[in-house]
Amino acid sequence: MQGIFRKENTDKALKYGIYRHLPTYEKIIRNLVSFFTKKFTIHKFLTFIYYYNYKFTFMKWGKTMKKKESPYIDGLDQMDIKNIESFPCFWQQCFLKRFFKKLQDENMNKNDVCNKANNNDDVKRLTANYQLLSSTLSQYTNLKNKSVRHISVDALISVSKALNVSIDYLLGIESSEQHNLTDIFEETGLTKKSIYALQQNSKAPDFINSFLQSKELTNLLRLVNQIFYSDYIAKDILSAYSKSLRDIIVSAYSKYMESTLPIEMKEETFKVALYNEIKNKNITLNKEYISFNVSKDRFSQIRHLSKCSNIKLSQAFINDTVSCVYNIMFYGNSSDYYRNALSNSFSKIVDEFLATKSEKLLKDLGNYAKLDKTDNSIDK
């Protein structure tokens, strides 16, 4: 001890447990103890020793000391979800999942939740001025803890008001965030976005009511379905044929419509028209041509039809193609008609709405006029 410390500081060295078998600290201890004063406490001394040792170790390995940041954010990763799903209470699982999802959607953190809750008048009224602290909220939501506490009633009310959602939603009883929307979703089938759109546009409900109550609505929906089947289904069926073959089919049907009387229009007569159009293009309906210009499924069906009916592959191709495309070509040719009819149908609904609104406005103006006359007579 005498070799390390000056004689007057030997007692201090013994007091603080510093011994010769710690050579790493020899120079540090010599300097510290030599300039040790009464104001330098044992806590400060040990803190400095610990820090120096920590830094020295990192420098020895060529590393810099960095503060480790917590990987946990206010969102949930797969490990967090797995931990939540291990909880025995279903309502607690729903609460934690929906709590963190809402934080992510609203770009909030737990401190924001506490601040909003503590400044909410409903929370103050319902909970007798209950204050939701960040430390308290962490006890209910910190997934790092081995045992996450069940949330209290006051805290649950505070969280629901801060996030602007119902308690039933947080606990998994309802799928919608608000009580008043749950019944609307279930009864009408309207989506959340549709409800919010109606809420934001004050003039929309009047037109929607008129639209849904119109007798023309049934006809309008029928025309929409007709256009869907004539346009979109036709595209899907015709996609089984190559572009060059589709052009031939469309050309054959156009010529067929121009040259055939309505009473004679049927699949059998269109088969002849399609065969003649292909023949005029100098196309040979052999196996190579058919397999190259139709899909695999369609070609398999044509071969199966040829074997079962004991007819040539070319005839099977004509029969199968006409049975697939004749009806959709017929309805597709009428697409413009259906679209014009749809436009007229919608115009009728709008006219009904305008007529009803105009009638209501004139009625209100009449009532105002009567009221004005009554006021004038009273004044006289």
How far apart are alpha carbons 336 and 111 in whole angstroms? 60
Distance, in Å, from the CA atom of 24 to the CA atom of 29, rounded to the nearest integer, reads 9
Residue 241 phi/psi, 5-degree rounding, is -115, 150
Largest pairwise CA distance in the chain: 128
Contact 316, 300 (CB under 8 A): no
pTM: 0.38
- The neighbouring-strand residues paired with 294 are 241
What does the alpha-carbon distance between residue 167 and residue 157 come to, in Å, rounded to a whole number?
7
Q: If you count them, how many residues does the chain have?
A: 380
Residue 345, phi then psi, degrees to nearest 5:
-65, -45
What are the tokens at 313?
Answer: 């592959």
Query: Which residues share a beta bridge with 241?
Result: 294
Q: What is the pLDDT along the chain (380 residues), one digit of tens a residue?
A: 444 445 555 555 555 555 454 454 554 555 555 544 444 455 555 555 555 554 444 444 444 333 333 333 445 777 878 888 888 888 888 888 888 888 888 888 888 999 888 888 888 887 777 888 888 888 888 887 777 888 888 888 888 888 888 888 888 887 777 666 666 666 677 777 777 777 788 788 888 888 888 888 888 888 888 777 767 777 778 888 999 998 999 889 888 888 888 888 889 999 999 999 999 988 888 989 999 999 998 999 898 888 887 788 989 999 999 988 888 777 666 677 788 888 999 999 899 889 888 888 887 777 665 555 555 555 55
In SS3 terms, 162-176 reads as HHCCCHHHHCCCCCC
